[in-house]
Amino acid sequence: MNAKLIRNLGRTAMVAMAAASVFAASSAIAADMLPVKFVLNWKFQSVQSGFFVAADRGYFADEGIDITIDQGNGSSAAVKNVASGAYDAGFGDINALIRIAAETPAEAPIGVYMIYNQPPFVIVTKSGSGITKPADLIGKTLGAPASDAAYKMFPAFAKLAGIDASKVSWSHMKPALREQMLMRGEVDAVSGYNTTIWFGAKGMGVDPKKDLTFISFADHGMDIYSNSVVVSQKLYKDHPDKVAGLVRAINKGFMDVLADPELAVTSLKKRAPLAKDDIERDRFKTVFDLLVFSDEMKKIGLGAIDPVRMKRSIGIVVDAFNLSATPDISQVFDTKFLPPQETRLVN
């Protein structure tokens, strides 16, 4: 065998070995990536942009997470989807989680990053309907999607407001029809998130300030938390390092959006190209002003909770639904995955 052939064979072998090394390294990286299915509270909107930015900028991948983000069908439904094992994590109503923790604790997800610090639950009527307070709902027909978190919480609201929930009738509809049925007079009032109904009405050409009356649950004793990032028991127990990474990535994503709010629109448009820029800018600002930027959040940082308030919130839900057990805070929310406070503070 001549020297030239030997050199060529040597180079071929080296190339093959290098390729094998690259493949082995890539396989090792791929093997370290954990697939995580994440369900949102609702259809793609600007308010969820922190999750989108974390995905687009590779923050989840940096943490060894292969994320899939799906649209949701209600905040309560998101929690149930995680509890059932259909999803590994999601963005949903912490109060729905409290009920599961009381009734079937082995299935209950765990909250790990609080986003909606303030409760968004409302009853909404047409202005001039004569319905301005909880007592006015007696004998009326209210409407809501069956998965609506405010509908699920209505018995708790009724108890705190001192009215008999059994004397209120309900009619269920698809989410997209809620505001239409209200304005057509097919129901006397509807329940939902204040911001969801606000923008649903605006999309119909209705002026919510002038044409609608909002009855807030928070104004009648329901000072509770709302939507949080939640994770399944399996992810929580089997992959605590990935839970911490998930929370770090989400925190980075939301802090990026808060530093540059235009990301709320651009990240959304990658997923919902027909979304209207002006509406989504308005939605992002309104939701964060009403539900996120509380005095408490500004003090303790995005993602955190006040344990005293959380304990009180659990008590409100347990009492209102006559639950057989009172979950401990540790069964509902775990703060150990939160990044350092200085990385979560909002000016």
- From first to last of the 347 residues of the chain, give the pLDDT tens digit: 555 544 554 555 454 454 444 444 344 445 689 999 999 999 999 999 999 999 999 999 999 999 999 999 989 999 999 999 999 999 999 999 999 999 999 999 999 999 999 999 999 999 999 999 999 999 999 999 998 889 988 998 999 999 999 999 999 999 999 999 999 999 999 999 999 999 999 999 999 999 999 999 999 989 899 999 999 999 999 999 999 999 999 999 999 999 999 999 999 999 999 999 999 999 999 999 999 999 999 999 999 999 999 999 999 999 888 899 999 999 999 999 999 999 999 97
Does 64 fall in a domain? yes
Domain interval for residue 151: 121-220
Q: What is the pLDDT of residue 331?
A: 98
Per 3-state DSSP, the chain is made up of helix, strand and coil in percentages (nearest 5) of 55, 15, 30
Does 10 fall in a domain? no
Tally of CB atoms within 10 A around 131 = 20
Q: What is the pLDDT of residue 147?
A: 85
Q: What is the pLDDT of residue 15?
A: 45
Q: Please provide the distance, in angstroms rounded to a whole number, between the alpha carbons at the two ends of the chain.
A: 74
Q: What is the pLDDT of residue 321?
A: 85
Q: What CATH number has the domain bearing residue 267?
A: 3.40.190.10
Q: Whose CA is closest to 173, among 160, 192, 157?
A: 192
163 with 197, same domain: the answer is: yes
Q: Whose CA is closest to 109, among 101, 118, 119?
A: 101
In angstroms, rounded to a whole number, what is the distance separating the alpha carbons of residues 77 and 91? Answer: 10
Find residue 42's DSSP bridge partners: none
Q: Which of 182, 205, 220 is the last residue of a domain?
A: 220
Structure tokens at 338: 């939160």
275 with 159, same domain: the answer is: no
* pTM of the model as a whole: 0.84
Q: What is the pLDDT of residue 10?
A: 53
Q: Are 142 and 191 in contact (CB under 8 A)?
A: yes
> How many structural domains comprise the chain?
2
320 with 238, same domain: the answer is: yes
Q: Which of 178, 197, 220 is the last residue of a domain?
A: 220
46 with 95, same domain: the answer is: yes
Find residue 303's DSSP bridge partners: 114
In angstroms, rounded to a whole number, what is the distance separating the alpha carbons of residues 109 and 28? Answer: 30
209 with 230, same domain: the answer is: no
Q: Are 5 and 55 in contact (CB under 8 A)?
A: no
Q: Which of 220, 255, 290 is the last residue of a domain?
A: 220
Does 19 fall in a domain? no
pLDDT tens digits, 244-263 = 999 999 999 999 999 999 99
Residue with the two structure tokens 């994440």:
38
92 with 171, same domain: the answer is: no
242 with 270, same domain: the answer is: yes
Residue with the two structure tokens 């540790």:
330
Q: What is the pLDDT of residue 32?
A: 84
CA distances from 297 to 93, 239, 338 (A): 17, 28, 14
